[in-house]
Amino acid sequence: MEPENPEPHHSTLGITAAQSYQCAATEAGLKTSGPDLFLLQSQVPAVAAGVFTRNQVIGAPVQICAEHLAHPTVRAIITNSGNANCCTGTDGLQKARQMCELAAQKVGCLPEEVLVCSTGIIGVPLPLEKIAAQVPSMRWKNGADADLHAAQAIMTTDLAPKYFSASAEIDGKKVTLGGMVKGSGMIGPDMGALPHATMLAFLTTDAAVEKVLLQQLLEVAVDRSFNSVTVDGDTSSNDTCLLLANGASGAVITEDNKLQFAELLQTVCTALAKKVAADGEGATHLIEIQIHGAASAEDAHKVAMTVANSPLVKTAIFGGDPNWGRLAVAAGRAGVPFEMTDLSISLGDMEVLHNGEPVDFDETQAAEQLKPFEVFITIKIGNGSHSWTAWTCDYSYDYIKINAEYHT
């Protein structure tokens, strides 16, 4: 079926935009300042889907979260920042379970109905006593202030809170999907259905979606959004994306209308993913890289991410240098075969290489294409029908400074 509302309505709300969700955020002293503990509650039982890092070094919360995701229903998410609870052994696993128990007592549900996440320093024991002291007194809220404070509570090196929501009419009912994300460095997500500075993404909807279908839709949306964002190419130990669907709107997502819901989900995920790239550590530019003419989506994805992760490309953009040769060689080393005579490159709306032949262009005007905060790069590698879009940021002097001093 064709979407009834191809342009979803955007809102300034985030994680509580959908019906029957509320959240709480507070300072537990896990970070040097600011809120660092977050709780989300669905006031009615929800179905959950999730994807996790495929890094072989995984945080204790990822392991427990994946276990609890198998439960038929979910009622809450508890998350802390300032400590990743990773490489902390059996003590870390026990404390991740205890975080679920604390949230379950607060919400009035089973511990298995709580999903848990952590982000921050790796290898430091989690001071659970600080979390336990705060959870009972946390106050449930919803609305703009609640969404802002929730997004702040999961930040580490992020400069800005990142949240977004949108609504669409599906079968005559308003469906809302909102969420928030954190991530500024150690961003090169590679998330899959099973677990094998971190990016955490939490999504909520008031549509009713069967669990298997919800998982399928989330995996597709994540591939085209969060898995297509990179800051430095480093996949974190705690990368997690969770989606809750509680059915409070009365809309039911089926095979007949799933494309409308998928479009709404993609809109929100893409908006959040771009916010991650725009807030990359030390970033002065958000860079969008579009690959066209690939023989397969996988090929297009490989080329897009190889170019997006190239330090030479990222530093050239920072310096305002229209050195398109760096783009060409980055595309050429992606492991995707193509003919040089099919390669075309554009900076913004200015073509600089056409079918393997350099275009005579004004370098000053080309440099102007790199001045706006948002920079657009288009690369055509052949005559195939597949495309991919990736987002990254430039490398500035501040990226080195931030990461050199991260632990201290």
- pLDDT per 10-residue tile (average), the chain, 408 residues: 47 91 97 94 97 85 95 97 94 97 98 96 95 97 94 88 95 97 58 50 97 96 90 71 97 96 96 88 89 97 94 93 95 96 97 96 93 96 97 82 60
How far is residue 391's CA from residue 370's CA, in Å, rounded to a whole number? 15
Q: What is the mean pLDDT of the chain?
A: 90
The pLDDT value recorded for residue 404 is 66
The whole-angstrom separation of Cα 178 and Cα 8 is 12
Q: CA 232: distance to chain centroid?
A: 14
CATH 3.60.70.12 maps onto the chain at: 9-276
What fold characterizes domain 9-276? L-amino peptidase D-ALA esterase/amidase (3.60.70)
pLDDT value, residue 184 = 60
pLDDT for res 10: 61
Could you report the per-residue pLDDT of 76-127, keeping only the tens digit for each?
999 999 999 999 999 999 999 999 999 999 999 999 999 999 998 899 999 9
Determine how many CB atoms are found less than 10 A away from the CB of residue 72: 10
Task: Choose the catalytic residue: 53, 79, 119, 198.
Answer: 198
313 in helix, strand or coil? helix
Q: What is the pLDDT of residue 168?
A: 97
Q: In this structure, which amino acid lies at residue 129?
A: E
CA pair distance 393, 318, nearest whole angstrom:
9
- What are the start and end residues of each CATH 3.10.20.340 domain in the chain? 286-404
CB burial of 91-118 (b: ≥16 within 10 Å; e: otherwise) equals ebbebbbbbbebbbebbebebbbbbbbb
pLDDT of residue 230: 84
Residue 82, exposed/middle/buried by CB under 10 A (0-12, 13-18, 19+)?
buried
Task: Clarify whether 198 is annotated catalytic.
Answer: yes
By the 10 Å C-beta count (0-12 exposed, 13-18 middle, 19+ buried), 17 is classed as: buried
CATH 3.10.20.340 for domain 286-404, yes or no, is yes
Q: Name 385's Cβ contacts closer than 8 Å, sequence gap at least 6.
A: none
For the whole prediction, is pTM greater than 0.85?
A: yes
| Predicted pLDDT at 5 | 44
- Cβ neighbours of residue 63 under 8 Å, at least 6 residues apart? 93, 96, 195
Q: What is the pLDDT of residues 247-293, one digit of tens each?
A: 999 999 999 999 999 999 999 999 999 998 888 777 899 999 999 99
